[in-house]
Structure 1
Amino acid sequence: MIIGSLLLLGLFKFPLWNIMLGAPQYPDPLGMNIYIQGIEGVEEFDLQNIDGLNHYIGMKTIPKPEDMWEFSVFPKVIIGMVILGVIIGSLGFFDRLSYKYFLGWFLLMSILGVLGMYDFNNWLTEYGSDLDPNAILKLNNPDGTPMTYKPPLIGHQKLLNFDVDSWPHIGGYLMFTGMVLTLIAFWLGRKFTLKKTTQ
């Protein structure tokens, strides 16, 4: 339980998510790494180049940390969950707390994760559809509606001549591993408690 909680601290070092854009004119794909504190380019000028491309189709520039409340709130939430998890794990280790609290932590973290993904998807939707009407390029779908450029929440998608891939990064996998460890801790605690009661 303690180790699983501490793995969340990896989110302060490693990206939570990664989005890559590849096209024939970009043999080296452009990419952005999304951290809980902000967005950085995979390479030095990637964000600048992505913003340059987005300008032609009327998309907003990639937000700075101060532009989104999430980048100030998410680190606090993660620190809170780490501290809570370590306290629960420590009390459970000294038999001062029921193993059921391990599952409670997991469920709370799952709810926060779902809310975070929902918020991330809303941001992607707004980012890809709230376009400047005075953009240089105005493209429409076959039915005449304005084309949107929402990157996929997860997976691969074709946007014009770009192949866009959106996947969890190291921080996301560390968080997932930590949550799995807390489930294992719950299972072990349950097994140990049942064994004690049958003796």
Structure 2
Amino acid sequence: MKNLKISVLSKVLLLIVASLFAGALFFPMWRIELEAPQYPEGLVLQLFANKIGGDVEIINGLNHYIGMATLHTENFFEFSILPYVFGFFALVSVLLIFIAKRKAVLGFLITYALFIVLAAIDFYRWNYEYGHNLDPNAAIRVPGMSYQPPLIGYKQLLNFGAYSIPDIGGWMLTAAGLILFFIIFKEYNYFKKNKS
């Protein structure tokens, strides 16, 4: 039964994971960069856990011409719950240090992985709705054209190149997931080696 407990190193790593979840609240999680000849410096839309940031007003002005809805933090319920989700994940990471059970950490990793999948689906839905539900009376209409930004990576949207990539907070969340995976790999591998 002793081998079911996690090591001191894993406990330290869980403290780092908790710090990453908490720290992600203060940095943008995702960014969509827009590049076009008329904006050589580029435009950036940043998604924080609790708000939309970056060049929102300029992007909203451009969206108006092509019939896309304007972006406002209050229109997305996700921004009201994500800070609590990340705070909860940080708290659970600290509690796991005291619980110190491999299965509990594994359960948390699976829960976090499911959250990432659901968040990706929600982000795709968000992008799809904004890119396809266009005002038919917009000043600029291109038959058959939609303006859905990529979930991740690059996509050409008329004369704009759109890059959708993680920002600092997103990389922190990625690091948290990778560290959790490392803890599980290390703990279960160690258990197998010491079982014999």
TMscore range, shorter length: 0.7 to 0.9
Paired residue secondary structure (2:163)? strand
2:85 is equivalent to residue 87 of structure 1: no
Matches within 5 A, 1:94-113: 98-113=101-116
Name stretches of at least 5 consecutive residues in structure 1 with no aligned partner: 93-97, 141-145
What is the percentage of aligned positions where both structures have the same residue? 37
Q: What TM-score, normalized to structure 1?
A: 0.87
RMSD: 1.4
Paired residue secondary structure (1:135)? coil
Deviations 1:62-113 (A, max 9, x none): 122x221100111111111111121012321xxxxx2122111111001001
Tell me which residue corresponds to 1:143: none
Between the aligned partners of 1:197 and 1:163, the Cα distance in structure 2 is 55
Between the aligned partners of 1:147 and 1:57, the Cα distance in structure 2 is 10
Match of 1:9 among 18, 22, 25: 22
For the 8 Å contact 1:2–1:90, the answer to whether it is kept is no
TM-superposed CA distance for 1:196, in Å, is: 4.7
Name stretches of at least 5 consecutive residues in structure 2 with no aligned partner: 1-13
Tell me which residue corresponds to 2:58: 49
TM-superposed CA distance for 1:193, in Å, is: 3.4
Matches within 5 A, 1:1-199: 1-41=14-54, 46-64=55-73, 66-92=74-100, 98-140=101-143, 146-198=144-196
For the 8 Å contact 1:154–1:166, the answer to whether it is kept is yes
Between the aligned partners of 1:129 and 1:24, the Cα distance in structure 2 is 24
For the 8 Å contact 2:25–2:86, the answer to whether it is kept is no
The amino acid across from 1:2 in the alignment is L
Deviations 1:97-135 (A, max 9, x none): x21221111110010011011101100000111111111
Between the aligned partners of 1:179 and 1:127, the Cα distance in structure 2 is 29
Between the aligned partners of 1:191 and 1:31, the Cα distance in structure 2 is 43
For the 8 Å contact 1:18–1:32, the answer to whether it is kept is yes
Between 2-11 and 47-56, the greater mean CA deviation after superposition: 2-11
Tell me which residue corresponds to 1:95: none
For the 8 Å contact 1:6–1:86, the answer to whether it is kept is no
Paired residue secondary structure (1:186)? helix
In the TM superposition, structure 1's runs of 4+ consecutive aligned residues that sit over 6 Å from their partners are none
Between 167-176 and 1-10, the greater mean CA deviation after superposition: 1-10
Between the aligned partners of 1:52 and 1:188, the Cα distance in structure 2 is 51
In the comparison of the two structures, how many residue pairs are matched? 183
